[in-house]
Amino acid sequence: MKNIFRISLLLIGLLTMTNGTVEAQLMEEKDKFTRADSLRGTLSELRSWFDVHYYDLHVQVFVDEKYIEGYNKIYYKVLEESDVMQIDLFDNLQVNSILYKGEKLKYKREHNAIFIELGETAEVGSLQSLTISYEGQPQIAKNAPWDGGFVWEKDEEGKDWVGVACQGLGASVWWPNKDHQSEEPDSMLITCTVPKGLTCIANGNMRSQREDFDNSIFEWFVSYPINNYNVSLNIGDYTHFSEVFEGADGRKLDLDYYVLSYNLETAKEHFKQVKPMMACFEEALGPYPFWEDGFALVETPYLGMEHQSAIAYGNKYLTGYAGMDYSRIGLDFDYIIIHEAGHEWWGNSITSYDIADMWIHEGFCTYSESLYVECLYGYDKALEYINAKKPSIRNERPIIGPYNVNKEGSGDMYSKGMLFLNTVRHIVDNEEVWKEGIIKGLLKDFENTIVNTDTIVQYINRKSGKKLDRVFDQYLKHPNIPVLKYKLDSKGKMLSYKWDADVEGFDMPVKYIDRKGNSVWLNPTTEWQDTKVKMKKTKKVKFEEDLFYIKVMKDK
C-alpha cells in the first residue's frame, strides 16, 4: 500500500520542511446512498486493520463463454488485531473457497462485500496471506470506460478482442481485492490464461509466456504500487513494436506498443507523437514515474483509460477526440494519447484517497494537456487552449463529491479543474515557484503516495507563501465561480469592485488592463473597495479573464 499522508502528520511535516464526454453525476441527497455504497466507499475497521502488500492474481479467460475463473493470493501486513476481514468481489461472481494457513475459512456475503472469519487474530506487524478462488461471468461494460466491466468484441478480421475497464465501478467487478482507492499493493503479479492464438497484455513487464494444451499463459509483473482500477487485461491478436526514449538524465525508457496486427504500419506512424510528448511531460512534470515497468500503449475496443504502464488506446489513430477537434483551436494531436499518458503522473503516481477527490486526477491531468500545448506551441497558445473549454463547463454541481460512498464529483473536474489551476498559477504569479516548486514539487514529494484535497491545498499554500484555502473552497466545493462586480464613475477615474461568492470572507487577487495597456493588480474582497484609475469614460473595464476563471459583472 502507498504511504498515506494523514493530515496531522502532513501539517507537522510541512511546518518542518475535459470537459469529460460523459460526466459523472453527483447525487444531490445523501439519503439516496445505500449500505452497499458505504461498504464500498468507507475504509471501515474491517478494512483498515490490514495493509495489502502484494497481490498474486491468476485469471483464466474463457472467451467463448464470456467467463472467468481464477484466484488471488493476498499478502498483507497486520496493523491492528482483528479476526474478521472485508474483501470485495461483485456478488454475481461465485466464491469457490478461501484458504488461510491451509484451512478453508467461513465467510458471509453482503452486497459486493465478503466478510471473512479468520478464526484468529494475527500478531501486529506480521505478514500474512490468504487465497480466494472464484469464477463467473463478469459484468459486461455497457459503455466502457465510463460504465465499465468486460468488453467482448471482435476485431475487423473476426478475431476475439477483449478488454477490461473499471474505474469508479471498481476492480472487484472482476477480481477479489481490498477495493478502496487508498489501498494499493506495493507490487503485483498478474497471470492471464487465454485460448491459444490470442495474446494477453497486462500491466508492468512480461516475465514469461508459455503454452499449456490449448491455452497460452502470460505472466506480467508490476514493480510499483498500482491503483486497483488500473489493473487490466487486454486480449487479442496483438503485434508488438517498440522504441526507446532517452530521458534528460540519459536513462533509457522502453516505449512499447501493442496493436492489432493489421494496424501495425498505421500505428508506427501515428505513435511518432509519443516521444515528443514524453519530452514535454518530463520537462513540465518530471521523470516518468514508472521507469522500470516502461511505458506502453495497448490498442483496445473502447476509447481509452489510464491503465498504469499499459495505457488503453482506442482513438482509432485519429487526431483530437475520435476525430473531433477537442482542442477547439485547430490543434491536431491525439487527445487520448496525451490525456491518458498524463494520468501516469496525476492519478497513477499521485492518487486521491477517496474518489470524491478525483479532481486531483482529472483536473491536474487536464491542466497537463495545456502544459503539453505550451511546450510545443507556447504560452499564448496554451492560454487559448485553456479558455476554449469554458463553454463546456456547466457549473451545476461541486467538483468534490460526497466522501465515503464511492462517488465522484461533477464532470466539470476536467475543464473547470484546468481553468481553476490556470487561475491558481496566475495568483501565485511566480513561474519558477509554480512550475518547479508546485507542479514538479507535488509530483516529486508525493510520488507513489495517497493524498487528499487538503494535502494539495496546504502544499500549495506553503510553496507559494499565500493562503488559498478560500479560493480552493469556492472552486471545488461550490458549483458557482466567483463573480467580480464593479462600478466605474462617469469620468472613468474611480473604480469600485467586490466579490460575490459562496465562501465567507472570499478574497482573490485579479488583474485589469488600464488605459495604457498595463496589467494592474486588484485585491477584491466581499466588501466594496475603491481605487483611482485612468480609463476612457465610455470603455468598460477589461479584466484579464484569460488568466482567471471568473464571471465579471458591471454593477448598476
Q: Which three cell numbers stand for residue 468?
A: 488559498
Give the pLDDT band (50/70/90) at residue 71: very high
User: What is the bridge-based pairing of β-strands 238-246 and 84-88?
Assistant: unpaired
pLDDT of residue 493: 87
Hey, what domains does the chain have and what are their CATH numbers?
3-28+345-477 (1.10.390.10), 33-342 (2.60.40.1730), 483-554 (no CATH)
Query: What gap in Å lies between CA 548 and CA 556, rounded to an integer?
Result: 23
466 Rama class: left (phi>0) / alpha (psi -120 to 50) / beta: beta
The per-residue pLDDT of the chain, averaged, comes to 93
Query: What gap in Å lies between CA 159 and CA 156, rounded to an integer?
Result: 7
To the nearest 10°, report the CA torsion of 415, 416, 417, 419: 90
Query: What gap in Å lies between CA 305 and CA 85, rounded to an integer?
Result: 31
> pLDDT tens for residues 2-57?
544 433 333 323 333 334 443 333 334 445 899 999 999 999 999 999 999 999 99
pLDDT at 537 over 70: no
Contact by Cβ (8 Å): 336, 314:
yes
pTM of the model: 0.94
Q: What is the mean pLDDT of residues 286-313?
A: 98
> pLDDT tens for residues 410-441?
999 999 999 999 999 999 999 999 999 999 99
> With pLDDT > 70 as the criterion, what percentage of the chain qualifies?
94
> pLDDT tens for residues 325-360?
999 999 999 999 999 999 999 999 999 999 999 999
